[in-house]
Amino acid sequence: MSENKVSVIIPIYKVEAFIERCAITLMEQTLREVEYIFVDDATPDNSISILEDVIARYPQKKEQVRIVHHPENKGLPAARNTGLALATGEYIFHCDSDDYVEPTMLEEMYNAAKEQDADIVWCDWYLTFAQNERYMKQPFYETPLEALKAMLSGAMKYNVWNKLVKRSLYVDNSILFPSGYGMGEDMTMMMLFAHANSVAYLPKAFYHYLKLNTGAFSQTYSERHLQELKHNVSRICDYMQVEYGKELEKELAFFKLEAKFPFLITNDSRKYKLWKEWYPEANDYIMQNRNVSSRSRWLQWCAWKGLWWMVRLHYLLVIKIVYGIIYK
């Protein structure tokens, strides 16, 4: 087989209801020079046997598929790192095993990367619910630094699964995902942008991100999740300060505000306390970030001023009732 243009890394853990559709849409990709690395993170269900059944339907793809097994569950970042260590493609694409993709995704993204000599290409995506889906338009930026500032400011998603990244960015800069710290692990994408020379945007949606946890517009954080999130936020802030000094001071403040913003989308006063405790130095920047909605800035301002009854009212009226109807 000719040299791989793209390596797709697919971690697998408890996805028996979704892996068939995911795998089929990957096997149906129109780009031929692709290797598929499925990382079994010690899944206890039937995901792997279902996957093997799908692969058996595509005998012509057999040599392009690897299934590797973790002896024990190590978490999503470690599974991504296992895939990266095995990858040989010119570019890397991460696909979550409960999602699915359009058949021309890899071909169109790879062609865009080559035509524009881009280290990273991103595209639009679909937020897919049980009964409907939303087209999620992404912004365009000419330079990696502009895109990085947008991700830190909340104007652009740093998700790993709508971006094609040159593998050399990982290798040459020793960039790995934070093993053991799954909450916010995709912030790693911003470290790659910090080293990219050129980027490209493809204004088409190829990726279907499933959001089937109904009513989950408020995040549920365990104590461990909180530790992981804070670790990853601090990891990015420290990394960017080394790379850019004070150049991103404002954007890093915005990033800290974004990280603790979910604590306000709740009726839990314990989360309000966390909002006050996390990164108070960033609160001075609340009204400066024009990349987030005026409603978000207002909500954060209410929290800053201790108007918790307003924060609680916002949650009850807007999140529980309005969003509950729209995204039902």
How many Å separate Cα 98 from the centre of its chain? 13
DSSP letter (8 states) at residue 192:
H
Q: pLDDT-derived band of residue 316, with 50, 70 and 90 as boundaries?
A: confident
Checking if the pLDDT of 209 tops 50, the result is yes
Residue among 198, 196, 209 nearest 112 (CA): 198
How many Å separate Cα 150 from the centre of its chain? 15
Checking if the pLDDT of 216 tops 60, the result is no
Judged on CB neighbours under 10 Å (0-12, 13-18, 19+), 58 is middle
Average pLDDT over residues 99-110: 98
Average pLDDT over residues 220-238: 93
Checking if the pLDDT of 252 tops 90, the result is yes
pLDDT tens profile 277-305: 999 999 999 999 999 899 999 999 999 99
Least confident of 34-48, 214-228, 249-263: 214-228
Q: pLDDT-derived band of residue 219, with 50, 70 and 90 as boundaries?
A: low
Strand, helix or coil at 204?
A: strand
Strand, helix or coil at 160?
A: coil
pLDDT for the residue numbered 130: 86
Q: pLDDT-derived band of residue 222, with 50, 70 and 90 as boundaries?
A: confident
* 40 strand-pairing partners: 12, 69
Least confident of 84-98, 207-221, 240-254, 312-326: 207-221
Q: pLDDT-derived band of residue 220, with 50, 70 and 90 as boundaries?
A: low
Q: How far is 30 from 198, CA to CA, in rounded Å? A: 25
- Do residues 77 and 183 touch, judged by C-beta distance below 8 A? no
pLDDT for the residue numbered 283: 98
Q: What are phi and psi for residue 120, nearest 5 degrees?
A: -140, 135
Q: pLDDT-derived band of residue 217, with 50, 70 and 90 as boundaries?
A: very low
- Give this prediction's pTM: 0.93
All domains of the chain in start order, with CATH: 6-210 (3.90.550.10), 223-326 (no CATH)
pLDDT for the residue numbered 214: 43
CA angle, 60 as apex, 59 and 64 as ends, to 5°? 100
